[in-house]
Structure 1
Amino acid sequence: MTFGFAPPPHVSLPVSADSAARLGRMLVPAEWASAGIPVLRNPRELVADLHDRHRPGPSTAIIAVLDAHDRVTASASFTEFAAAPDGWEFRNALLAHLRRVIPHDLRLRTPVRTAVLLYCREGEPRWTETDGAWMWGLRDACTLHGLRCGAYITLTPSRWQVLGEGRGGRRPRPPATDLPVPEPRRPDAGRAEPRRTTAARPDSSRTAAKAVVPQSRPLPRRAGGAPEAHRHTAAR
């Protein structure tokens, strides 16, 4: 029979070299707040714009490049599934999509454009290890592409949140689909047209054949002369 002893609660279990390296490619909220991330002028409008362009689902990342006036000049979205979040893998994915949508600014001494990341996920809007890995990947990808590292925004089923700033709001709603307007129905469209019947006209030839034409009756003839002679005699 063997007996095992559980380690005390204050003693941490040894971690592998891979897990230690992965945890090193992660930023906690305190490190992110001290990185000098520029504040967005209107995060609500930016979130609504990116949501309307890409319609993100769970595990969808949207990388957007802003000009000096916080206007979107380029953006790309992709889905990234990772059992163990690693900032190095996220950095490579972000850098690959940045190279497809916009040229680098490595020749400039000071970056003039800013890259922001909107990540759609399940759960609460508070910081998670996955968010820390995305923060590390965004900062490193911006350095390798000559951009200034911008805000990191989480989009959960209920709301959006700018981590490190404390600003957030309700999740944008997709615009209603325009339904086709049915054609107005005419009042007499469903009413059957009354049937008209024409009576047969009688045949004129047959009617003429059946009609009896009255003939004038001859005056009676009296003996002793013509009728005109008798009229003259009576007048006398």
Structure 2
Amino acid sequence: MDSIDPLDYVDGEVANFAPFEDSGEAPFGYLSIMWANLNVQALLYLVPFNFSLAMLCWNYYLTMMTDPGSPPVDWNPNAAPTQEQIVLIIVDLCLDGCVLIGISLLTIYHIWCISNNTTTIESWEKDRVITMIRQGKIIDVKCPYNQGILANFQQVLGHNPLLWLWPQPMLGDGLRFKVRSDTAGDIHSDEDEGPSISPSFSRAAGSHLWWRPFDGTNNPRDEMVEMV
């Protein structure tokens, strides 16, 4: 209302009304207020605003008072599914069951791999390794990476069980892994100075040892094979 000059009254009637014209102020005083002798600039604000306000009130009234409707009294839908719908439901259940069984088997398989600290490739090669052991081509050696169920899960998923399902980087550099204390002494170096005990060993470095033919001698590196 700062943009409107005071009204002068003479004998109870409006004697002078002078709204601003070039004051430079925003004419907010004209909004939603009906004044006499308004200029064109005031009407440009007053008419659109009041029209929008009226439409808003009318829309609110219709929203609150209009009947949303209801189903017809004689409306009786067929609750029994059709034959096509039954077939689709059966097909969906079969497909969902196959997916559930597949994911469950895959989950159980990987939980078993983690509990034994065994990679997928190592588990796939297990039958072939057993066959080669029976044929006398390689020596039967226990997996040096199996440190117990809890330690295996911690090495793969982290030390905090609350964060096992949360994505996080693996421990170490991904090339060398810890081995059991009772097998650390079986891991030797290739140098001529003699054996050296190491708390970790590279899985990739020992992977080719499965394929060394057994020549009747005990090669120290036979103890570095990955798993059986």
- Using the size of structure 2 for normalisation, the TM-score is 0.19
Larger radius of gyration: 1
Higher relative contact order (CA 8 A, sep 6+): 1
- Using the size of structure 1 for normalisation, the TM-score is 0.19
Instruction: Considering fraction of residues, name the structure with more strand.
Output: 1
